[in-house]
Amino acid sequence: MSLFRTLTKNIDWKLWIALGLLLFAGLLSLASSRPELFYKQLLWIAIGLLFIVFFTFLDLRSFFSHSSVSNIFYALTIVLLLVTFFLAPSINGNRAWLLIGPFQFQPAELAKLALIGVLAVFFAKRHVGIARWKIIIGSFLYALIPTLIIAAQPDMGSALMVLGIWFGFLLVSGIPIRRLVVAGVFFMLAFILLWTSVFKDYQKNRIIGLFQPQQDPLGANYNVIQSKIALGSGGLFGKGFGQGTQTQLGFLPEAQTDFIFPAIAEEGGLVAAGIVLAAFLWLMFRLLRMGMLVEGNVAKFICLGTAVLFFIQFIGNVGSVTGIIPVIGVTFPFVSYGGSSMLVNLMLIGIVQSFYVKK
């Protein structure tokens, strides 16, 4: 009983308020636009919460502190990605999901967790010499391998998120500016490699469409145009639950996943959209604060790496639906429908919380 009191006393309840608001907003939007997915999402959330409770009572610091454990987990994830690429059925033109009974699981989401773990150990042991070329290149290779496999599925959004995790680790590791510029060159070279060898024509057209927003309104720019209409038509208080014309009539594509934020804005207005944005930013603040307070470099890097992942997913999603960046197919953390991403994201919250309650 004393252990339970100690753990619950140290839990960051302010983080949980923000997380609860995001989960509620996503479930409410699903209940409006895709009620048949509401209970599936609720099930994945329940499983994720069980993982959080389980992780809270474990001391995961020793588990993640061993490079052999993180490397094995990383290697197994790479194998799983390869199995998915070669053996998984094609769904919507992608070989990205493994079928587990009535459910689909996306190993690319698990690869994000594995990469955070392996890079956390890598940088924790070498952060003093982070400016050395072999360390920068070695960490880049850790990210490049899953990036190429995921991009070949093809899943451009997840591939760019994996690269983003690596670049984010460099930012929080204290790398000198001159080396950071070179790291940016590595990032661009990887992007060029993906563009010339992996990206499909429709993915290239999305990127080109960013610079020609009025061109091809029924093709490459259709999604963004419909998203902007949904974002702008909600007004201050929205059209009401189940009353969004863009969402309910199917003009807004993927309103349950990649474009769930404009669906929320259309039916809930600027008020609902503002609450979602504020809750996410507050969640980020709490994660960064927890990362500064936990003990041990590995734990700190995992906390900060988790914050990096959520932030680049947020930028990728909101930037896409507002037309600031190309549509890359990235979900809004804790809001969009998706069992794999929801489960992995909640597992990361559980890992961070495990570090924090035992600080």
Spans of all domains in the chain? 1-64+222-359, 66-199
Are 181 and 170 in contact, with CB atoms under 8 Å apart?
no
Q: What residues in the chain have per-residue pLDDT under 50?
A: 1
Q: Could you give the CA distance from residue 356 to residue 11 in angstroms, rounded to a whole number? A: 7
Q: What pLDDT is stored for residue 8 in this prediction?
A: 62
Q: What pLDDT is stored for residue 268 in this prediction?
A: 96
Q: Could you give the CA distance from residue 50 to residue 84 in angstroms, rounded to a whole number? A: 26
Q: What pLDDT is stored for residue 3 in this prediction?
A: 53
Residue-wise burial string across 275-293, b where 16 or more C-beta atoms lie within 10 A, e elsewhere: bbeebbebbbebbbebbee
Q: What pLDDT is stored for residue 212 in this prediction?
A: 60
Q: Please report which helix (H) or strand (E) contains residue 105, including its range.
A: strand 103-105
Q: What is the DSSP letter of 331?
A: P
Q: What pLDDT is stored for residue 5 in this prediction?
A: 61
Q: What pLDDT is stored for residue 172 in this prediction?
A: 83
pTM of the model: 0.91
Q: What pLDDT is stored for residue 46 in this prediction?
A: 96
Q: What pLDDT is stored for residue 258 in this prediction?
A: 93
Q: What pLDDT is stored for residue 209 in this prediction?
A: 61
Q: What pLDDT is stored for residue 88 in this prediction?
A: 86
Q: What pLDDT is stored for residue 217 in this prediction?
A: 62
Q: What pLDDT is stored for residue 64 in this prediction?
A: 77
Residue 213 buriedness (CB in 10 A; 0-12 / 13-18 / 19+): middle
Contacts of 298 (CB under 8 A, 6+ apart): 61, 64, 65, 120, 121, 124
Q: What pLDDT is stored for residue 136 in this prediction?
A: 84
Cα atoms found within 13 Å of the Cα of residue 226, Cβ hemisphere only: 25
Q: What pLDDT is stored for residue 173 in this prediction?
A: 79
